[in-house]
Structure 1
Amino acid sequence: MTVTVVVGNPKPASRTLTAATLVAKALRPDAEPAVIDLVSFGPALLGWGDPDVGAAVRAVRESSLVVFASPTFKATYTGLLKLFLEQFDGATGLADVLAVPVMLGAGPAHALAPDLLLKPVLVELGATAALPGLYLSDSTFQDDGVIDRYAERWRPVAQALEVVDHA
């Protein structure tokens, strides 16, 4: 089973990347996740047909579990993540992908953002988003136990829902 982390933070090697990787490893401790740090694509995300962006889209489509992660910007996910998601075809672009929306923020004010804002887009693209979204404190996620409790509760569900690799 292929596990991928997609990070929509405009800062490379961000806390969002760290958090998303921890979530992926907690849900699938037997798999090393591939990481797609969208900031590395720069302006290539603004157009269509870039080969590197295309390869990232294919990698996500061929994954069985994908953690989509973003910091909370203006009460929603970043434009960087939106640009990447625009690269997928309509209602089937993420077919057979179990998607987990994860967002980080400074406080609890936007705790529903992963479920209210990011999850509907993933579902619209055909992903299975049966697990609740996860909102993490950007300053305490490594020590507060939230990721471990989430994984303990949802790991069996994620494993039951994963589709065999597409390759």
Structure 2
Amino acid sequence: MPQRRVLSVVGNPKPNSRTRTVAEAVAARVAAAIPAEGDVVTEVIEVSALGPGLLGWGDPAVKEAVASMRTADALIVATPTFKATYTGLLKLLLDQIGQGELGGVPTVPVLVAGAPEHALAVEVHLRPLLVEIGASCPTRGVFVLDSTLPELPAQLDTWATANLAAITALVESRATVSQDLG
């Protein structure tokens, strides 16, 4: 069995943000739940590091990021809330991905917000965008308030109990299909 990989894509303009902290915590939960013969690797793409390459088409670093997203065993897409939705920075990257191009990669949408009024944004705005580009989002997204970050482990325990089985089942079924075809 090849090594499994969980990729976090962080759409915060600020590197090493709270959004990244949440994304990495979700990725760690997903990675720990995926059956594998060896370690499950977690990686992070900070969209802000792609810089001006996001503003045009064909940038090698952006192409590499998209290829990494397509080949991940599981994907965590995290963004802070800007104007009640995902960031324009994240949208610049996701606009580089064609309709259906992710090919069903199991994906967890994650949104970090300053106000509880934005709780639906993860389901109403981020999830449909991810589905449009071919992500498979088999569970509810993760919504975290900035003010509740100290309670993140407990929040993720609750989320994991309700959702991890669906994600790991999808990861396993995709791996089986891949082995059968390969």
Q: TM-score, normalised by structure 2?
A: 0.86
**Unaligned stretches of 5+ residues in structure 2:** 33-38
Alignment counterpart, residue 75 of structure 1, candidates 64, 80, 84: 84
Q: Are 2:141 and 1:133 equivalent residues in the alignment? A: yes
Structure with greater Cα Rg? 2
**Unaligned stretches of 5+ residues in structure 1:** none
Task: Report how many residues are paired.
Answer: 166
Q: Give runs of ≥4 in structure 1 deviating > 6 Å.
A: none
Deviations 1:89-114 (A, max 9, x none): 12x21113011110001121110111
**Which residue does the alignment assign to 2:113?**
105
How far has the Cα of 1:80 moved from its partner?
0.5
CA RMSD of aligned residues (A): 1.6
Percent identity, aligned pairs only, is: 43
Alignment counterpart, residue 16 of structure 2, candidates 9, 13, 22: 13
Partner SS, residue 41 of structure 2: coil
Q: TM-score, normalised by structure 1?
A: 0.93
Distance between the aligned counterparts of 1:120 and 1:132, measured in 2?
A: 12
Distance between the aligned counterparts of 1:49 and 1:77, measured in 2?
A: 23
Pick the structure with more helix per residue: 2
How far has the Cα of 1:31 moved from its partner?
2.3
**Which residue does the alignment assign to 2:6?**
3
Alignment counterpart, residue 28 of structure 1, candidates 27, 31, 36: 31
Distance between the aligned counterparts of 2:145 and 2:131, measured in 1?
A: 25
1:14-163 residue pairs with structure 2 within 5 A? 14-29=17-32, 31-90=40-99, 92-144=100-152, 145-162=154-171, 163=174
